[in-house]
Structure 1
Amino acid sequence: MALEIERRFLVRGSGWRDHILWGQRLRQGYLQASADGVTVRVRLEDDEPMETSAGQGSRAWLTLKAAVTRITRAEFEYAIPADDARQLLALTTDSLSKQRYGLDLPGGDWVLDVFEGENAPLVLAEVELEREDQPLTVPPWCLKEITGRGDLSNAALARCAWSHRPLAERQALLDGGLCNDGDID
């Protein structure tokens, strides 16, 4: 069983742009989404990737995830034909699109998602770690840690877009203080 150990952060500002290694446009939809059970996601990298090192056009995956702890999930991911992904996306009622960027930051594999459509202008950073207790230096443009917040998962954002949430709720999250002064253990 593959494990995904991940921490997530709400981002403010554009300081992350100095760390971009690659970018891609993703569409993803949820065939099943459960906070306590298994989530089944289909993801399609669009035909015209942005500055990707691979530059191969469309790629697609079917992913199954299940919570193990607050920051660890069992993850099973399988490459599927892009045409199959398009057909599966057409069957989903909960979907979203985003620009994803790989970042050159230490401490783990960092990616940053700039959400589009009704989830704009939301920006979230994620870092995959080797172990749960791994020390991490969090960049100053990370506003607040949102690890474990199911209401801000991609599946939740596909079901209820950021722009559909009450303004007071969005503002309260964005007005929070900085999540770090550098290192977080």
Structure 2
Amino acid sequence: MTEIECKFLIKNTDFLKGKTGIRITQGYLSTDKERTVRARIKGEKGFITIKGKSNDSGLSRYEWEKEIDLQEAQELLKLCLPGVIDKTRYEIIIENHIWEIDIFHGENNGLLLAEIELQS
């Protein structure tokens, strides 16, 4: 599957008041130029993801993701490179598009990102 995504820094999260997010912990097992391999815990589910190199525009790349056992994801996180990411994600629908709003904790505390994945 090819993903097309755009990311934006945001300045505030007032529009999230009253919304419920999900906690995500993720780490990278490999950050090779040709591919990244990520382990993630999203709520009570585990995932492993492989992302290929971005195209020349930087807007799309191959992505493969598989749900794995939560305990397996916890074990893989122990093997990850330094800098495990901790964030809360909110999903907001605007004009039939799902925006993912991430509020970072820990080492990246204060970072606010909005991301949208597009079909084309």
Q: Deviations along 1:76-103, whole A, 9 cap, x unmatched?
A: 0001000000000011133111000001
Check conservation: 2:28, 2:81, Cα contact below 8 A.
yes
1:138-157 alignment, distance < 5 Å: none
| 8 Å contact from structure 1 (residues 40, 64) kept in 2 | yes
Paired residues for 1:46-65 under 5 Å: 46=43, 58-65=44-51
Does the 8 Å contact 2:12/2:112 carry over to 1?
no
Deviation at 1:109, TM superposition (A): 2.1
> CA 1:19 to 1:38, structure 2 compared with 1: closer, same or farther past 3 Å?
farther
Whole-Å separation in 2 of the counterparts to 1:65 and 1:108: 22
Q: What does residue 32 of structure 1 align with?
A: 30
Contact 2:90 2:100 in 1 (8 A): yes
Q: Tell me how far apart the structure 2 counterparts of residues 19 and 40 of structure 1 sit (CA, whole Å).
A: 34
Per-residue CA deviation, residues 112-131 of structure 1 (Å, 9 max, x unaligned), is: 10000110100000001110
Aligned-pair Cα RMSD in Å: 1.7
Give the match for residue 2 of structure 2: 3
More helix per residue: 1 or 2? 1
Task: Name the residue aligned to 2:92.
Answer: 103
Contact 1:109 1:129 survives alignment (8 Å): no
Q: Take 1:76 and 1:123, find their aligned partners in 2: how far apart are those partners?
A: 25
TM-score calculated relative to the size of structure 1: 0.59
Map 1:11-160 onto structure 2 (within 5 A): 11-17=10-16, 20=19, 22-34=20-32, 36-46=33-43, 58-66=44-52, 67-69=54-56, 70-94=58-82, 95-106=84-95, 108-131=97-120
- Which residue number in structure 2 is paired with residue 147 of structure 1? none
Q: Is the 8 A contact 1:108 1:130 kept in 2?
A: no
Partner-residue secondary structure (3-state), 1:89: helix
Runs of 4+ in structure 1 over 4 Å off: none
Quick check: which one's strand share is greater? 2
Q: Would the aligned equivalents of 1:44 and 1:61 in 2 still touch at CA under 8 Å?
A: yes
For residues 118 and 91 of structure 2, the distance between their equivalents in structure 1, rounded to whole angstroms, comes to 15
- State the structure with bigger RCO (CA 8 A, min sep 6), 1 or 2: 2
CA contact (8 A) 1:44 1:59 kept: yes
Query: Tell me, which stretches of 5 or more residues in structure 1 are unaligned?
Result: 47-57, 132-185
